[in-house]
Amino acid sequence: MTALLPRRGLAQILALIVILAVDRVVSPQFFDLRLQDGRLFGSLIDVLNRGTPVALLSLGMVLVIATRGIDLSVGAVMAISGAIAASLADSHGLAVVLAAALGAGLLCGLWNGFLVSVLGMQPIVATLILMVAGRGIAQLITEGRIVTFTSPDLVWLGNGAVLGLPVPVAIALGMLILTGAVVRGSALGLLIEATGGNARASELAGVGTRAMILAVYVWCGVCAALAGVIAAADIMGADANNAGLWLELDAILAVVIGGTSLFGGRFSLILAVLGALIIQTMNTGILLSGYPPEFNLLVKAVVVLAVLLLQSPKLPGLAGIAARLRRAKA
Amino acid sequence: MILKALFAATATGALLLALPASAAQLTIGFSQIGSESGWRAAETSVSKQEAAKRQVNLKIADAQQKQENQIKAIRSFIAQNVDAIFLAPVVSTGWDAVLKEAKEAKIPVVLLDRDIDPSGKELYLTAVTSDSVHEGEVAGDWLAKTVGDKACNIVELQGTVGASVATNRKKGFDTAIAKHPNLKMVRSQTGDFTRAKGKEVMESFIKAEGGGKSICAVYAHNDDMMVGAIQAMKEAGLKPGKDILTVSIDAVPDIFKAMVAGEANATVELTPNMAGPALDAVAAFKGKGAVPPKWIQTDSKLYTAADDPQKIYDSKKGLGY
C-alpha cells in the first residue's frame, strides 16, 4: 500500500477535501445518499460514476507518461470502441461485444506503440495521427449517426449496480487494483519508471525499453476502449462525433494533478485516479452551483491552477522570498 | 463515411461531365457542407427526394466541411452552366468573390440552412433558413399552454455556450415564458448538444432540486440532450413525460421513440426540407421571373404525442439522422 500511496499524495488529498467542502457549501445536499432501484443515489455517486471514463483513461495515460510518452488518441479510441460495442450489442452476446471493443483498443494501442517504440516517432505526433483518424474510423462504423441499442447486458454495464455501487465505478476500481497489482506487484513499474527516467541508460542496463513502451501504449488503448464501452453503455448509444471528445486532455490533466511529471519517471496510479476524481468533483460542483454556464471553464481553470500551485515545489521558496522582502522593508 | 463521401464526390464529378443540361428539365448544383450530423445527412436525403418529386436534376457536391471545396464546387457548377446553385455555407464569410462570378454568369444562388455575412446580400437570390428564435418561442408557448395557470419550475439544457443556435433558442423561449409569471426558469446549464452531457447535467439538476420533486418541466435546446435527460430522470425514479414535462427542438427520430413510450411530450421541428422551398422559389423565378423575398423562413412545426409519433418515427428513421 505504501508503494501505491506515497507521502507526496498529501497535496492531492487536501485539494479533494477542499473541493468537496466547497461543493457542500454551494449544494447543501451534496453528501446525501439514498437507495434508488438497488443503486446508491446522490451527488457523491455522480462524482464517482461520471469520473469513471477519465479515471480509466488516466490509468493507461499515467503509465504512458511515466515512459516520457503521451497518448493523444485515447478520446478517439473511446469513440471507436463505443461504436463497435453499440453496433454489435443487439446481435451478439456481451462476451463478443467486449472482446471486439477491447480488441480494437488493443490494436489501436499496438499501432501507437509500434510508431513510438519501433519507428521511434515522437509520441505527441505518433498519437496525433490516431487522434484525428480514429474519430473518422468511428464515424465510418456508425455512418455518422448515433447508433442506439437495447441489449440489457450492455446497458447493465453502464447503468447497473454491484452492491449498490454503479457498475462503471466497480469496473474502474477493479482496473485500478489489477493495474496496481501488475505494475507494483512485480518489477514492471520500476522498469517503466527507469525507461522514462533515462531510456538510454536503462537500455544499456538491460531493460527492454522497446517492449516496455509498446506495453504501456497497448494498456492505454485497452483502458481507453473500456472507457468507451462504458460511455456508450451509459447513454445506450454510440455518438462517434462526441464520445470521448477532448477527454485525452482531462486524462493528461488528471495524471499531472496526480503529481506525475510529463518528463517521465516516477508515477502513481492511485494519485492519477485521485486527479480524475478531483476534476470530476469540481465539474459536478459547477453543475450543482447553478452559476451561468459561461463561468464553467473559468472556474475550472482557476481551480486547476490552484491545485497545481499547491504542488509546486517552488511555492514554499516563493513564500520565503516574500517574507524576506517584507522583513527587509520593515 | 469518408469513403462514401469520396465516392459520392467522384460520382458527382462523373455526372457533371456525362449529363448535358436539357432545356425542359432544371439542373441545379447543390454544394452541401458534408455530413457532420444526422440532421445534415437527413437534409441531403430529403433534398434528393424533393428534387426527384419535381423532376429536377440535382447535383450534390459534398464539401467535407471545407470552404475551399465549396468554392471549387460552385466554380464547377458555373462552368457547367447550371440553372441555379444551392449553397449550404460552412462559414458566413469569404463568399463574395465566388458569388460575384455566379452573378456575372447569371446563375441565381440560393442559401440553404445558414445565412452568410450581410455584405453579400445582393449576391444571392434568397436564403431558406429556420428562425431559431422562433423555434424557442414555439417551445415556450407550448409549455405555457400545457401548464396553464399552475406554477411551474423549468430547468433548461442549453446548447454549446456561444453557439448562435443556443443563444437564439434560449432567447425565444425566455421571451415566450416571460409573458407567464407562473413559469419560472430555476436552473440553466449547458449540455453541449450531446446525450452524455445532457444526462450528466440533468442528474445534477435532479439532485439540486430536491430529487427532482420541484421540477415541473425540462426544456432542451436539442433532442439529443433530452434523450440523455430522460434517462437521468428514469434512473432517479422519476417519470419523464408525466412527473416532468419535456419539450425540446429538432425532431430527430429518437425523440419520437421516447414519445411513443410516453417519456417525452413535445418537440419543435427543425425541418431537413430546406431544398423544397428553395426549388419552388427557383422554379417561380425561372418560369415567371418572380423574385422571392430575401429570406424564406421554414416552418417550425410542433409535434406532440397526439401526432402519431410512431408513424413519424418510421418516416424519419430512413433519412440518415
DSSP assignment of A307-328: HHHHH-TTHHHHHHHHHHHHHH
Mean pLDDT, chain A, as a whole number? 93
What is the grid cell recorded at B272? 431537413
Q: How many separate domains does chain B show?
A: 2
Report for B7-16, B119-128, B245-254: range of highest mean pLDDT: B245-254
Comparing alpha-carbon positions, the chain B residue that sits nearest to A297 is B161
CATH code, B120 = 3.40.50.2300
Question: In this complex, do A239 and B227 lie within 8 Å of one another by their Cβ atoms?
Answer: no
| Residues B209-218: b if buried by 16+ CB within 10 A, e if exposed | bebbeebbbb
Which of 236-255 (B) contact A at CB < 8 A? 236-237, 254
Please report, rounded to a whole number, the percentage of residues in chain B having pLDDT higher than 90. 81
Which of A235, A280, A282, A291 should be substituted to probe chain B, the one whose Cβ sees the most B Cβ atoms within 10 Å? A235
pLDDT at A150: 94
Give the model's confidence band at B31: pLDDT under 50 very low, under 70 low, under 90 confident, else very high: very high
A264, A68 in Cβ contact below 8 A? yes
> How many other CB atoms sit within 10 Å of the CB of residue A120?
9
Q: How many CB pairs under 8 A join A and B?
A: 93
B292, B67 in Cβ contact below 8 A? no
Which residues in chain A touch residue B35, judged by CB atoms under 8 angstroms apart? 144
pLDDT at B21: 42
**pLDDT of A303 over the 80 cut:** yes
Residue in B161, B205, B237 nearest the CB of A293: B161
**pLDDT of A41 over the 90 cut:** yes
One DSSP character per residue, B46-70 reads: HHHHHHHHTT-EEEEEE-TT-HHHH
Q: Closest Cα partner for A219 from A326, A325, A62?
A: A62
Answer yes or no: do B100 and B142 share one domain: no
Give the model's confidence band at B5: pLDDT under 50 very low, under 70 low, under 90 confident, else very high: low
Give the model's confidence band at B220: pLDDT under 50 very low, under 70 low, under 90 confident, else very high: very high
Give the model's confidence band at B1: pLDDT under 50 very low, under 70 low, under 90 confident, else very high: very low
pTM: 0.89
Tens of pLDDT, residues A151-177: 999 999 999 999 999 999 999 999 999
CA-based nearest distance A224→chain B, Å: 17
What is d(CA A278, CA A16) in angstroms, rounded to the nearest whole number? 6
Answer yes or no: do B11 and B157 share one domain: no
Residue B177 covered by a domain: yes
One DSSP character per residue, B192-236 reads: TT-HHHHHHHHHHHHHHTGGGTT--EEEESSHHHHHHHHHHHHHT
Residue B300 covered by a domain: no
Residue B219 covered by a domain: yes
Q: Closest Cα partner for B193 from B166, B155, B154?
A: B166
Answer yes or no: do B119 and B207 share one domain: no
Which residues in chain B touch residue A133, judged by CB atoms under 8 angstroms apart? none
Comparing alpha-carbon positions, the chain A residue that sits nearest to B186 is A290
pLDDT at A211: 96
Q: What share of chain B is helix, strand, coil (3-state, %, to 5)?
A: 50, 20, 30
> How many other CB atoms sit within 10 Å of the CB of residue B103?
16
pLDDT at A37: 86
- ipTM score: 0.91
pLDDT at B189: 97
Answer yes or no: do B279 and B191 share one domain: no
Residue in B35, B196, B200 nearest the CB of A144: B35
List CB contacts of B279: < 8 A, sequence separation 6 or more: B28, B50, B51, B54, B56
Answer yes or no: do B155 and B286 share one domain: no
Q: Closest Cα partner for A227 from A48, A86, A77, A110?
A: A77
pLDDT at B60: 95
What is d(CA A173, CA B235) in angstroms, rounded to the nearest whole number? 22
Comparing alpha-carbon positions, the chain B residue that sits nearest to A142 is B1
Give the model's confidence band at B121: pLDDT under 50 very low, under 70 low, under 90 confident, else very high: confident
Question: Three-state SS for B181?
Answer: coil
Residue B295 covered by a domain: no
What is d(CA A306, CA A293) in angstroms, rounded to the nearest whole number? 21
Q: Provide φ and ψ at B240, rounded to 5°.
A: -65, 145
Pairing of strands A237-238, A147-148: antiparallel
Comparing alpha-carbon positions, the chain A residue that sits nearest to B210 is A29
Domain that holds residue B283: 2-130+272-290
pLDDT at B257: 96
Answer yes or no: do B187 and B310 share one domain: yes
Answer yes or no: do B235 and B106 share one domain: no
| Residues B130-151: b if buried by 16+ CB within 10 A, e if exposed | bebbbbbbbbbbbbbeebeeee
**pLDDT of A121 over the 70 cut:** yes
Give the model's confidence band at A7: pLDDT under 50 very low, under 70 low, under 90 confident, else very high: low
Give the model's confidence band at B236: pLDDT under 50 very low, under 70 low, under 90 confident, else very high: very high
For residue B74, the surrounding DSSP H or E stretch is helix B67-80
Residue B298 covered by a domain: no
Answer yes or no: do B139 and B120 share one domain: no
Answer yes or no: do B90 and B112 share one domain: yes
Q: Closest Cα partner for B219 from B260, B183, B256?
A: B183
pLDDT at B19: 45
Tens of pLDDT, residues B58-94: 999 999 889 999 999 999 999 999 999 999 999 888 9
Q: At what angle do helices A94-113 and A152-159 cross, to 10 degrees?
A: 60
Residues B134-159 have a mean pLDDT of 97
Which residues in chain A touch residue B253, judged by CB atoms under 8 angstroms apart? none
| Residues A258-269: b if buried by 16+ CB within 10 A, e if exposed | bbbeeebbbbbb
Tens of pLDDT, residues B35-62: 777 888 899 999 999 999 999 999 999 9
B194, A242 in Cβ contact below 8 A? yes
Answer yes or no: do B189 and B250 share one domain: yes
A289, A91 in Cβ contact below 8 A? no
Answer yes or no: do B160 and B180 share one domain: yes
Residues B101-123 have a mean pLDDT of 89
Residues B8-31 have a mean pLDDT of 61
Judge whether A147 is closer than 8 Å to chain B, CB to CB. Answer: no
Judge whether A37 is closer than 8 Å to chain B, CB to CB. Answer: yes
Report which DSSP code applies to B298: P
| Residues A295-317: b if buried by 16+ CB within 10 A, e if exposed | ebeeeeeebbeebbeebeeeeee
B85, B31 in Cβ contact below 8 A? yes
**How far lies A150's CA from each of A78, A90, A110, A236, in Å?**
20, 7, 31, 7
What is d(CA A19, CA B95) in angstroms, rounded to the nearest whole number? 49
Residues B240-244 have a mean pLDDT of 96
Residues pairing with B60 in the sheet: B30
**How far lies A80's CA from each of A73, A77, A130, A228, B3, in Å?**
11, 5, 11, 8, 17
Tens of pLDDT, residues B269-292: 999 999 999 999 999 999 999 999
Question: In this complex, do A143 and B199 lie within 8 Å of one another by their Cβ atoms?
Answer: no
Residue B296 covered by a domain: no
What is d(CA A44, CA A60) in angstroms, rounded to the nearest whole number? 24
A108, A225 in Cβ contact below 8 A? yes
Map grid coordinates 460552385 to a residue: B74
